[in-house]
Structure 1
Amino acid sequence: MSNYKSETQLDLDPDFKSFFEDFYATSDTPDAHEHYVKYFTDDATLIMASTKVHGSDEILALRKSMWEKVESRSHNPIKIFPFGAYADQVMLHGTVKYGLKSGGEKEIDWAARAKLVKEEGKVKLAFYQVYLDTAAMAN
């Protein structure tokens, strides 16, 4: 199990750093679909590889589909790259290990771009795009 901690080169809002730790822990929890959606603004855009969705309902549907063939997942966010000191946009890099329902495991690298906002004192994603090698999952 990952501890979800990551390095950063520039100053990053401490709320953003703890947000990502909580976000990836929830992302790796199979039955936390509704909780996962709460990490996004109501009108957020989420792009996962080649799939693009908007808003809470579409994010929830995508989240559920991401668990159809996966028994478990474990993110290891290695590094966060803010666009500047205390910036609200970041790039992230890490790995994720999948336990597949069909048996076996796969571990792949990923990168992401995120735009964060604070709504009523809570950090949320207004935009989140994940880049990963989908061919690696197929092998």
Structure 2
Amino acid sequence: MSIVTTETIEFTAQSVGINSLSPDGSLALAPDVEYRLREIMQEAIKCMRHSKRNLLTTEDVDSALRLRNVEPIYGFASADPLQFRRALGHKDLFYIDDKDVDFKDVIEAPLPKAPLESSVLCHWLAIEGVQPAIPENAPE
């Protein structure tokens, strides 16, 4: 029994515009899709471990996809873990609870403070191998 079901393959095919996928085709594709997903996730776990982290991030999955010469997924980069909620009445269906934003509140919100004026300061770290005794250079 495959984790990726034929219904998932058929739904995915319909979502990209393939309406005439035969049941035999989806039955043949399901194990291959599962194999590819496992392969990508194993590479992502390797990337996570090489980064000395315990939490798998979207950057790890993107890195695994790049290692396989597959275009990475865009739009899901986040340093914070996603908080999934279980859908009522379905034991295996989860969703991410997004907050609704009222445009009126955004428009009427006060503008953030302007950043301080930028400035640039230059000084020599060393002149012909000798570090000048100035306040910007810490004494050795």
Q: Same fold (TM over 0.5)?
A: no
Relative contact order: is structure 1 or structure 2 higher (C-alpha 8 Å, sep ≥ 6)?
Answer: 1
Q: Radius of gyration: which is bigger?
A: 2
Name the TM-score class by shorter chain: under 0.3
> TM-score when scaled to structure 2?
0.27
> TM-score when scaled to structure 1?
0.27
Of Structure 1 and Structure 2, which has the larger fraction of its residues in strand?
1
